A and B are shown apart, each in its own frame.
Chain A
């Protein structure tokens, strides 16, 4: 119930292509879904986030699609660039009476964008 399942584990995309990473959850108490980008040796950097009252959020080349009924959300990277090569983590925040802001992370997707 506390898990966030992420797929694929790794992804290779050609420059200019679309990268798609998927996540699924079971706990309906999750109320905030961020995506983090992590380069080797660095901390996770907040990329984009969505709340369950909207089905899509777009920021530049990055889009989150959210399907509340299916309990799934995905990250789409349009026009993927070699500089996007990194590990991407989805996460979810559990709301329990506002007592916590704990993030539960997916297992990560290693994205390689080939020039």
Chain B
């Protein structure tokens, strides 16, 4: 069964450093998302991406964040200068098309900022 994959599973970084989280969405999916989950809290939407551009972003997704689809398979989230409060699980998700609605999540990357 196709699945969303994410690397790395755990990333430790120092405050102020740049990190790139990587995702490989399901191959025939066209819509891509990033969500985050601070430990013990609910999942929060960060950004959606379609046709090589951001379709929506949340208040959390400020200028420190960026997304990119550098090739036909990868989807990345970059945090330019990490803060302690960026520590969270980051989930990538994808959906086949807008009408299908169903979003499938990857296993997540645990980001720890020290």
**Do B108 and A105 touch across chains, with their CB atoms under 8 A apart?**
no
Interface assignment of B68: CB less than 8 Å from any CB of chain A: no
Interface assignment of B48: CB less than 8 Å from any CB of chain A: yes
Taking residues whose C-beta sits less than 8 angstroms from the other chain, chain B's interface range is 20 to 34
**A residues less than 8 Å from B43 (CB atoms):** 36, 44, 89, 91, 103, 105
Contacting B45 at CB < 8 Å: which of A36, A99, A103? A103
Interface assignment of A45: CB less than 8 Å from any CB of chain B: yes
**Do A44 and B91 touch across chains, with their CB atoms under 8 A apart?**
yes
B residues lining the A interface (CB < 8 Å): 4, 31, 33, 35, 41-45, 48, 55-56, 58, 91, 95, 98, 101-108
Interface assignment of A43: CB less than 8 Å from any CB of chain B: yes
**Do A99 and B55 touch across chains, with their CB atoms under 8 A apart?**
yes
Contacting B103 at CB < 8 Å: which of A46, A89, A107? A46
**Do A49 and B102 touch across chains, with their CB atoms under 8 A apart?**
yes
Give the distance in Å from the alpha carbon of A20 to the alpha carbon of B35 in the complex.
26
**A residues less than 8 Å from B31 (CB atoms):** 101
Interface assignment of A115: CB less than 8 Å from any CB of chain B: no
Decide yes or no: A42 and B107 within 8 Å by CB, A49-B102, A101-B95 being known contacts: yes
Given A46-B103, A49-B102, A103-B45, 10 more pairs with CB closer than 8 A: A34-B101, A34-B103, A36-B43, A43-B106, A91-B43, A100-B55, A101-B103, A103-B33, A103-B103, A107-B41
